[in-house]
């Protein structure tokens, strides 16, 4: 079962096979030798396509299930799949049992190929497990936190010099880091979260590891607390810097991936803000070999998580000294603001505005804080908000880097590009590389 969950679904072989099977299925479903069949087949295709358009209008426009717009490529997959299913449905009309069975099996092939096609557009679910929301990494056995002379606590590091200067990779150090999961108790918040993903870089896996910077990363919605994306980026950085990289906790701010919790403490979704700041961060300090000062502590996030990240820096500057906001929403529930205003703030616009990062940033100053804001050049829905938040952060005294990822969309390209640029800025700040 575990092997099935880890089966890759974004490889050219898997996608090519699925699309070829779908094409053959359509050809077989269309091949009937009856006088009225061409008209019936056309009616099935058109009817199915209309159902697809209606479904998109209901779930995307009326119910606003997905938040930001899906994009025309995704919509094309949905409408195309429904059109093909309409053709399959017509194969039940005055047909043999064998053709009926073929129509059912063909429908399964068509749906599977469409799911894989949509998933390939976003690129965020590379395995069967991540596609269905089941963790494909095992629980990680954590090494006991240690303090190594000269390379341990943040104060000792500051006295002896940055890690890049005083750390020497020992013989036999692993070439890559390791990932796994850990359940973080919600002692303070009571929030029901999924297990967090953990990334330990190569330096953390040595017999006498240095105490390393900490990054808490929050993914998008819908999404999973999956450490593989940040691990892939940081393994490359670690390879170029003697195995040094931050320890990363990919925390779950959603609980239910279909719910936008807004990263606030609410009666509807639970105390998410308290969970990240009062449960996750203290747990990391107690259980991971990380520096605990704010200058070496980073909150990062992608999309929904990006909004959480900048909100937490704005509210808790004593905890977080750095923020990496990758294609983040401008404020809690920005893509369904009217619903949030009504359901969460009972129509109180002033109370809602008070939770917006640009408002909070404008009320305080943030010395010795680093902020990286990234967004894709072809992400018009998020770019204006990213620019406004970055400008507000700069005006509040945060040392801001604003970067536009070339053609990353609001998908895997945006995430990877944001992580790459973010750690390029953070590495010197965290003492992991020279300026």
Residue 119: per-residue pLDDT: 78
Confidence of residue 1 (pLDDT cuts 50, 70, 90): low
pLDDT in tens, 291-316: 999 999 999 999 999 999 999 999 99
Mean pLDDT (the chain, rounded): 89
pLDDT in tens, 91-114: 988 888 888 898 899 899 999 999
Confidence of residue 117 (pLDDT cuts 50, 70, 90): confident
The pTM of this model reads: 0.81
- Same domain, yes or no: 154 and 112: no
Residue 139: per-residue pLDDT: 72
- Same domain, yes or no: 177 and 44: no
Residue 128 lies in a domain: no
pLDDT in tens, 221-277: 888 899 999 999 999 999 999 999 999 999 999 998 888 999 999 999 999 999 999
Residue 152: per-residue pLDDT: 41
Which tokens in the block code for residue 234?
């940081």
Q: How far apart are CA 203 and CA 235, in angstroms?
A: 11
Phi, psi of 303 (to 5 degrees): 60, -115
Range of the domain at 202: 134-429
Residue 1 lies in a domain: no
Residue 408 lies in a domain: yes
Residue 146: per-residue pLDDT: 60
pLDDT in tens, 361-378: 999 999 999 999 999 999
pLDDT at 279 over 60: yes
Looking at 98, 122, 146, the residue that finishes a domain is: 122
Contacts of 132 by beta carbon, 8 Å cutoff, 6+ apart = 5
Residue 98 lies in a domain: yes
Looking at 72, 100, 122, the residue that finishes a domain is: 122
Dihedral sign for Cα 86, 87, 91, 93, please: positive
Angle formed by the axes of helices 72-90 and 37-56, nearest 10°: 140
Instruction: Report in angstroms the alpha-carbon separations of 199 from 137, 290, 312.
Output: 11, 12, 22
For residue 188, give the CATH number of its domain: 3.40.50.1820
How many helices, marked H, and strands, marked E, lie in the chain? 17, 10
Strand partners, 297: 214
Residue 238: per-residue pLDDT: 97
- The pLDDT of 323-349, averaged and rounded, is 93
pLDDT at 153 over 60: no
Residue 88 lies in a domain: yes
């Amino acid at each position: 079962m575990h092997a099935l969950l880890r089966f890759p679904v974004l490889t050219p072989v898997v996608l090519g096979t699925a699309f070829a099977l779908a094409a053959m299925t359509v050809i077989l479903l269309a091949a009937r030798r009856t006088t009225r069949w061409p008209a019936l087949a056309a009616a099935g295709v058109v009817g199915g396509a209309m159902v697809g358009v209606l479904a998109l209008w209901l779930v995307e426009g009326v119910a606003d299930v997905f938040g930001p717009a899906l994009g025309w490529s995704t919509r094309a997959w949905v409408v195309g799949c429904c059109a093909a299913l309409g053709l399959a449905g017509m194969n039940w009309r005055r047909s043999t049992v064998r053709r009926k069975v073929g129509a059912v099996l063909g429908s399964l092939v068509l749906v599977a190929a469409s799911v894989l096609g949509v998933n390939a557009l976003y690129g965020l679910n590379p395995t069967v497990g991540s596609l269905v929301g089941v963790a494909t990494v095992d629980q990680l056995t954590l090494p006991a936190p240690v303090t190594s002379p000269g390379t341990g606590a943040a104060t000792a590091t500051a006295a002896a010099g940055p890690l890049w200067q005083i750390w020497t990779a020992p013989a036999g150090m692993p070439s890559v880091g390791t990932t796994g999961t850990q359940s973080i108790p919600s002692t303070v918040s009571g929030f029901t979260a999924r297990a967090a993903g953990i990334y330990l870089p190569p330096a953390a896996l040595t017999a006498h590891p240095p105490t390393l910077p900490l990054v808490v990363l929050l993914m998008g919605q819908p999404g999973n607390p999956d450490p593989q994306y940040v691990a892939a980026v940081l393994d490359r950085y670690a390879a170029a810097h003697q195995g040094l990289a931050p320890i990363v906790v990919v925390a779950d701010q959603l609980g239910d991936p279909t719910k936008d919790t807004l990263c606030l403490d609410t009666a509807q979704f639970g105390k998410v803000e308290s969970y990240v700041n009062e449960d996750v961060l203290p747990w990391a300090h107690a259980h991971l070999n990380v520096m605990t000062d704010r200058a070496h502590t980073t909150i990062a996030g992608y999309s929904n998580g990006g909004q959480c990240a900048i909100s937490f820096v704005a509210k808790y500057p004593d905890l977080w000294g750095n923020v990496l906001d990758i294609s983040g929403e401008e404020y809690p529930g920005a893509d369904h603001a009217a619903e949030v205003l009504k359901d969460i703030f009972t129509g109180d616009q002033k109370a809602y505005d008070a939770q917006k990062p640009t408002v909070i940033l404008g009320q305080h100053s943030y010395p010795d804080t680093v902020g990286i804001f990234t967004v894709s050049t072809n992400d018009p829905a998020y770019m204006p908000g990213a620019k406004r938040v970055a400008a507000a952060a700069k005006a509040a005294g945060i040392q801001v880097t604003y970067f536009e990822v070339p053609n990353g969309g609001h998908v895997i390209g945006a995430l990877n590009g944001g992580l790459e640029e973010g750690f390029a800025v953070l590495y010197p700040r965290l003492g992991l590389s020279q300026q």
